[in-house]
A = this chain, B = another copy of it.
């Protein structure tokens, strides 16, 4: 029996790159958190401490910052593709690279009713994400692209039911035909193609906004019988609208809002005062995909960025 090295990767996590475009008085800002991971034959580093094939994580960091200027950083998807492809194409021992990006959105402040040229406030709401995996060199190269968002906290004050569920001796939950439904949504969408040439004319910003809006609209308008149903319909609507996508994965905590018992004080509470609880929370996770979706390959294998 021998002890051997299994799957491994290494990289630099959470490079906080801020890119300003100031070619005109109306500046633009792109504020991202970039994590890179390299895969390949790094057995010598593990088994013998030999770094001859190891490009330092510091070098990965330098490249992430420099590429923000050299190659530009507007939409995170093409920036990530360029960076990941560079590592695979230009660093001999690397045969796979994973780049994960979070983007923090800023919006212009208004002054006297007009958008200001160079002052921004950080918009909260969701964080936009992208995960790019490049595998193989030359003609064999494939690029897996996953777009996404996280921390989209969304709530509806009615239009949500939960009843008819399975029961056992530990079931004390009461069915309900009207409850608050709230979640902090994580959604990721996998692109069908693995050839970047297919995305040459893609409107990245429009696609992102459209996917988000599609999911929000389904969340709002579907009379929900369960969070599972809502999630499936959200993913389905996205796939129906965007042919370029093959799969949507959703992870949604059920952030419980408990109706507060005020009857002890002689106060009626018909769905008006709630306690928002922190823990525990439900967690519903589902994949929605085309029945002819191509194989996901390494698309969902995490790198350094998503703990």
Binding site for B on A (CB under 8 A): 1-22, 27, 29, 31, 35, 37, 42, 45-59, 61-63, 65-66, 68-70, 90-91, 93, 106, 109, 111-112, 116, 118-125, 152-159, 162-173, 180, 216-217, 219-221, 224-226, 228-229, 231-232, 235-236, 239-240, 247, 249, 253-254, 257, 260, 262, 264-265, 267-269, 271-292, 304, 307
Residues of B within 8 A of A282 (CB): 10-13, 57
A207 to chain B, nearest CB (A): 18
Q: Which of A9, A46, A257, A264 gathers the greatest number of chain B CB atoms within 10 Å?
A: A46
Chain B contacts of A124 at CB under 8 A? 122-125
| A112 to B, closest residue via Cβ | B217
Query: CB-nearest residue of chain B relative to A249?
Result: B6
The answer to whether B55 and A166 touch across the interface, beta carbons within 8 angstroms, is yes
Closest 6 CB pairs of A and B: A124-B124, A49-B225, A6-B287, A119-B220, A122-B153, A51-B165
A285 to B52, CA, bound (A): 18
Tell me whether A91 and B4 are in contact (CB under 8 A): no
Residues on B with C-beta less than 8 A from A225 are 48-51
